[in-house]
Amino acid sequence: MSRSLVIVHRWDGRPNTDFYPWLSERLLQPPAPFDTVHTLDMPQPSAPTIDGWVSTLTRTLGPVPDASTVFLGHSVGCQAILRYLATLSEGHRVEGAVLVAGWFDVARRWDALQPWLDTPIDFTRVRAALGRCVVLLSDGDPFTPDWRRNRQLWEEHLGAEVRVIPGARHFNNPREPAVLEAVLSCFGP
């Protein structure tokens, strides 16, 4: 059975931005916890839509991804993963997810962001489809300064294990050791 990590980038991100190339390279070094690491190139990254991003996940992974799939979402990528998981047929589960800088509310709203905030997520279906769920938040994220409320929402909605990383801002660096550590400690070899 092949084990894969699927990365869904952030708003305005691309597979070659932020920490994604570095993380992919590190996770494929022996002893590699994954057979493949794939950062999806999501459509319209500067104005992502729920339909566009969820349909990209469905086209790429199919309506039923392998049970050994692990997801890594970054910011709006977390939202896309949750919404994709809510579409899975009953009884299907994936191994888990590491959700980085995920949010349910933000400090500043703009028009293209509004549907992501206003369209409900079926958390019952997401919980049924998702194995282990670890969320990394920063105590200095400019987009979600109320990290305590954000942590509470992740715990309430999904029973997620939330780790607060001091000073990580929105996790946009070329190297993010806390992300690597979370993936390895939760889904490592």
Q: What is the pLDDT of residue 76?
A: 98
Q: What is the pLDDT of residue 1?
A: 62
- The CA distance from 99 to 96, in Å, is 10
- The CA distance from 36 to 39, in Å, is 10
CATH 3.40.50.1820 fits 4-187, yes or no: yes
Output the tens digit of pLDDT for each of the chain's 189 residues: 689 999 999 999 999 999 999 999 999 999 999 999 999 999 999 999 999 999 999 999 988 899 999 999 999 999 999 999 999 999 999 999 999 999 998 988 889 999 999 999 999 999 999 999 999 999 999 999 999 999 999 999 999 999 999 999 999 999 999 999 999 999 998
- The CA distance from 11 to 8, in Å, is 10
- The CA distance from 107 to 99, in Å, is 19
Contacts of 135 (CB under 8 A, 6+ apart): 78, 98, 99, 100, 102, 151, 154, 160, 161, 162, 163
3-state secondary structure (DSSP) of residue 122: coil
